[in-house]
Amino acid sequence: MHSNFISRTQPSGAQRRTRNGFTLIELLVVIAIISVLIALLLPAVQKARESARRAECKNNIKNIALAAHNYHESQGSFPSGFIFAAGEDVPARFPEPFRFQQRKRNITVNNWLLVPAWSWQAFLLSEMDAQTVNVGFEEIKDSNPNNIQAIQVGIKPYVCPSASLPSARPIPVVTPPVPGPGIAYSTYRGNLGTSQSNGMFYENSSVRFRDVTDGNTQTILFAESLFGFWGDGLSCCARARFNTDSNGVPISPIFDEYYTDPNDPAIQFFGFGSWHDDVMNVAWVDGSVRTLSKSVNAVVFSQLVTRNGGERIDGDF
């Protein structure tokens, strides 16, 4: 009787074994939960990273504006937008094409001509603490190895960290070849205004604070752009451009624009814009930085890019 009682109350060896690990179904459930959590967290992480990049971009354009102020203090005016010099255009070979989308059209840029002109980006190098770049302004750009090497020096504050640019920079095509990492980028442009000379920067300009009669807090000094090179004179500036109605009245500003010179398609331009979706960072003449919506009213934007139009500008733009 005793032995029978024991056999009925004690589990067998097989029954005493405990289960280790997960079943396949449990494992799949855990993987599914982790996948959902990642899907939920990823946009938040990406948004946080973009917020940090946008803040760094603001700091970049703030430093550029302060450098322009220092230049004005020492030279009596803001630097010229660009100044042409003797020499020939320098072709650039793209090891990696620059691709982007413009109004649902896929655009590919795989060639460029650097004109002999020097721009405000080059004139501000000392104020940007980049004296050792050592541009020779009295020397011809295309035939001088020193200048070809100089324009391949990257200036970190000249490039927005959100910019999606080719990692392999374009190579200047000169004879004999000049070694280097490729032509250095710039994604910030001076305000060219709406006409030949009503902005802050243009050919041979020397605009002073007293020339900004519309107010230093309501006139754009610098803004973002998608692409350019600090060593290319025509990458200096952007002109405000607009979609217009049948009567030529502006309907909306055009941002993130790319176009070519109708007389010479090899000369390429980028307008104001940014890699920040629906906004861009703007430095004003007073040195402050503000985020501007790309859906800003066309009339208001045309007033903000002119320095002496005399318009009444509503500050809530």
The owner of tokens 């060896």 is 13
The amino acid sitting at 186 is S
Q: Which residue has the higher pLDDT, 238 or 26?
A: 238
Cis peptide bond upstream of 265, omega within 30: no
| Nearest alpha-carbon partner for 292 in 282, 283, 301, 302 | 282
Between CA 287 and CA 218 the distance in angstroms is 11
Q: What is the pLDDT of residues 184-236, one digit of tens each?
A: 999 999 999 998 899 999 999 999 999 999 999 999 999 999 999 999 999 99
The domain total for the chain is: 1
pLDDT of residue 75: 97
Range of the domain at 276: 52-304
Q: What value does the mean pLDDT take over residues 50-69? A: 96
Q: Does residue 26 form part of some domain?
A: no
Q: Does residue 43 form part of some domain?
A: no
Q: Which residue has the higher pLDDT, 9 or 97?
A: 97
Between CA 85 and CA 139 the distance in angstroms is 9
Sign of CA dihedral 114, 119, 123, 124: negative
Which residues, 6 or more positions from 204, have their beta carbon under 8 angstroms from its beta carbon?
80, 83
pLDDT of residue 45: 66
Q: Does residue 124 form part of some domain?
A: yes
Label the pairing between strands 237-238 and 188-191: parallel
Q: Does residue 69 form part of some domain?
A: yes
Give the confidence band of 18 by pLDDT, cuts at 50, 70, 90.
low
Q: Does residue 33 form part of some domain?
A: no
Label the pairing between strands 250-253 and 242-244: antiparallel
Q: Does residue 258 form part of some domain?
A: yes
Least confident of 13-22, 194-203, 288-297: 13-22
pTM of the model: 0.85
